[in-house]
Amino acid sequence: MISQCLLYVIWGRVDNVSSFWGRQVTVMRRPGSGKIYLLLVVIAILGCTLFLNASLNYLNYARNLKVLTNSRFSVIAQDLINSVEYGLNLGLDLREISTIQNLLAETRQQHNDISELFVIDEKDGLLFHSRADVKLMDAGLAAIIKEVDMNKRNTLVFSNMHYLIYPLTNQFNVRVGSLFLGYSSSLTEGMLAQAVEWFALYFIVAFAVCSLVIILVLGSIYSGFLGSLKKVRELLDMHARGAMPMDEAGAQTIFGADFSEFCSGSLRLAALLEEAERSMEKIENEN
C-alpha cells in the first residue's frame, strides 16, 4: 500500500486543468482516497516541524555541551597562560621559564580528562609537554597548524582529539609561542551519540502520538466531509434512476440549491425527451 502510494506520488501526475471542452473523460491517473493524501500532508508537515524542533534542541544541546566543555578548559588554560605570562613579564624567554614543565604535568594530573598539554615556540617547535617523554609534536598536527592563524585562539580537531590553542604573547604583543590543550573527542562524542538516541526516541514518540491524533481526529473530520459527498452520490444515483430527490435533500447537500435545480432541470429535459419520443413512436406505429 505504501509503496503503491509512493509509486503514484513519484510517477503519477496531477491533472490540474479541468476543462469543459469536449466530452472525453480523462482516465484518472492517481486513484485513491483524498483522505490519505491529506493525512500524509498534515503528518509530513507535523513531522517536519517536530524534526526541526528536535534538531534545534539537539543543536542547542550540542552547542551548550561544547561551550561548557571548552569554557571549563579555558579556565584551566587561562591559569596556565597567566603563569607563563608572569615569567615573560619578568623578562624571561619562554624557553627559560622552567616551571612550565611541572605546571603542565600537575595540571594534567588534576584534570584527568585532559589528554595532553604542551607549549610550542614561535617556530612551532615543541618546548614543554605534560608528558616529559614526548620531545616532538605530532607531524600531522604540525602540518595542520601551519594553515591556522596562530595569533588568535583556535580550536582544531585532529586524530580524534580536540585541541584548544592559545597564543602566548610577550609584553609587546608579539607571539612567542602557543599553549595546546588537547582532550579526546570521545569526551563529548559519547554524550552526543547518546543524546542523538534520546532526542530521536522522543521525536519518534511525539511523531507517532501526533500522527495517531491526526489519523483519528483529522480522519474523522474528513470522514464527516466524505459523508456529505456520499450523500451527493446517493442522490445522483437516485436521480439517475429517475427518482427526483427531495428539494430539501438536494438543497442540504454541499452544493445547495444548485443541486436541486440541476435535478429538476434534468428531469424536465427527460420529460421533454420522453414527450418527443412518445410522439415519434406514435407516428411510427401509425405508419
Partner 1 sequence: MKTDNKTPVVSLTFKINLLTIALIGLSGLLLSLSYLPIFDETTKPLIDKKAYAIAESLGLSFRKAIENEIPLDRLQNTALVFDQVLKENKELKSIMFANPEGSLLYRDSGVNIDKGLTGFIKEKAGQSSRTYVLTSADVFHGLEMPVNYHGIYYGKLFIETDREYYRQVFQDILFDILTVILISFIVALEMLKLTINLLVTRPIELVAHALDEMKKGHYWQRLKSSGLGEFVSIDRQLNAIADSMTSRYRAAAARYENLSTRFAGARGLGDAARSLRAIEAEYLFEPPADVRQYRPGRIPNYRAPFFIFMFSHMLCLSFVPIMSEKMYRPIMGLSKSFLNGVPISAFMLFWALAMPLTGIWLRRLGRRKFIFLGCLISALSLLLTAFVSRYEYFVVLRSLSGVGFGMVFLCVQDIFLRGSQQEERSIASSYFWAAFFSGTVCGTGIGGILADRAGFSGVFIASALAACFSWVLFLFLAEEDKGSGEPKDMKHYDSALGTIIKNIRFSSVVLFLSIPGKIVLTGFLYYLVPLTLHGFGASQSFIGRVLMIFSLAIIFIGPFFARHFSKYFSRAFLSVSGSVLAGSSIIIGFLVHTVYGVVIGVTLLGIARSMYLPVVDALALEAFRDEELKKIGTASVLSIYGLFEKAGNVLGPVIVGLLLSFADTRSALLLIGTGTAACGLLYGVLHLIEGKKAAVS
Partner 2 sequence: MNRRCLVYLLVTICLVFSQAGLLSAAMKPYRIYVVAWRGITNGERGFMDYFTDRKIPVEFIIRDCESDKNRLPDFVREIKEIRPDLVYVFGTSGALGLFGPRDNHPADKYITDIPGVFNIVSVPVESNLVENLNSSNRNITGTVHIAPMETQLNALKSVFRLTRLGVLYNPQEKNSVLALKKLEKAGKEQGFEIISSAFGLKEDKNPDKASIPEAVVRLAAQNPQLVYFPSDSFLVSNATEVVDILNRYRIPVFSATEDPISKSGALMGLVCHYYNVGMYSAYKAEQILVHGKKPSEIPIDSLNRFSFLFNMTAAKKLDLYPPFNLLKFVEIVR
Binding interface with partner 2 (CB under 8 A): 79, 82, 85-86, 89-91, 93, 169-174
Contact between 144 and 156 (Cβ < 8 Å): yes
Residue-level length of the chain: 287
Residue with grid cell 594530573, as numbered in its chain = 109
* Min CB(43)–partner 1 separation in Å: 10
* Min CB(259)–partner 1 separation in Å: 6
Interacting partner of 113 out of partner 2, partner 1, none (Cβ under 5 to 8 A depending on kind): partner 1
Interacting partner of 186 out of partner 1, partner 2, none (Cβ under 5 to 8 A depending on kind): none
Interacting partner of 148 out of partner 1, partner 2, none (Cβ under 5 to 8 A depending on kind): none
Grid coordinates representing 59?
543543536
Q: Which is nearer to partner 1, 12 or 101 (CB)?
A: 12
Q: Which of residues 205-244 bind partner 1 (CB under 8 A)?
A: 206, 209-210, 213-214, 217-218, 221-222, 225-226, 228-229, 232-233, 236-237, 239-240
* Min CB(172)–partner 1 separation in Å: 26
The residues facing 178 across adjacent strands are 120, 167
Contact between 144 and 161 (Cβ < 8 Å): no
* Min CB(206)–partner 2 separation in Å: 48
* Min CB(79)–partner 2 separation in Å: 8
Long-range contacts at 239-243 (CB < 8 A, ≥ 24 apart)? 239/263, 239/266, 239/267, 242/270
Q: Which of residues 19-58 bind partner 1 (CB under 8 A)?
A: 19-26, 28, 30-35, 37-38, 41-42, 45-46, 48-50, 52-54, 56-57
Contact between 131 and 197 (Cβ < 8 Å): no
Q: Which is nearer to partner 1, 51 or 134 (CB)?
A: 51
Q: Which is nearer to partner 2, 170 or 185 (CB)?
A: 170
From residue 275, alpha-carbon distances to 41, 157, 238, 264, 266 in Å are 52, 92, 22, 16, 14
Rounded Cα–Cα distance for residues 80 and 112 (Å): 16
The residues facing 158 across adjacent strands are 161
Helices (H), 24-129: 34-89, 99-110
Rounded Cα–Cα distance for residues 165 and 142 (Å): 13
Q: Which is nearer to partner 1, 143 or 209 (CB)?
A: 209
Query: In the set 89, 99, 186, 266, which binds partner 1 (CB under 8 A)?
Result: 266
Instruction: Report how many residues bind partner 1 under the rule CB under 8 A.
Output: 105
Q: Of the candidates 90, 88, 84, 86, which has an alpha carbon nearest to the alpha carbon of residue 103?
A: 84
Site string for partner 1, 189-208 (x = CB under 8 A): --x--xx--xx--xx--x--
Residue with grid cell 605546571, as numbered in its chain = 103
* Min CB(262)–partner 1 separation in Å: 4
Q: Which is nearer to partner 1, 33 or 155 (CB)?
A: 33
Residue with grid cell 439517475, as numbered in its chain = 240
Helix axes 34-89 and 186-213, enclosed angle (nearest 10): 160
Query: In the set 6, 7, 59, 90, which binds partner 1 (CB under 8 A)?
Result: 59
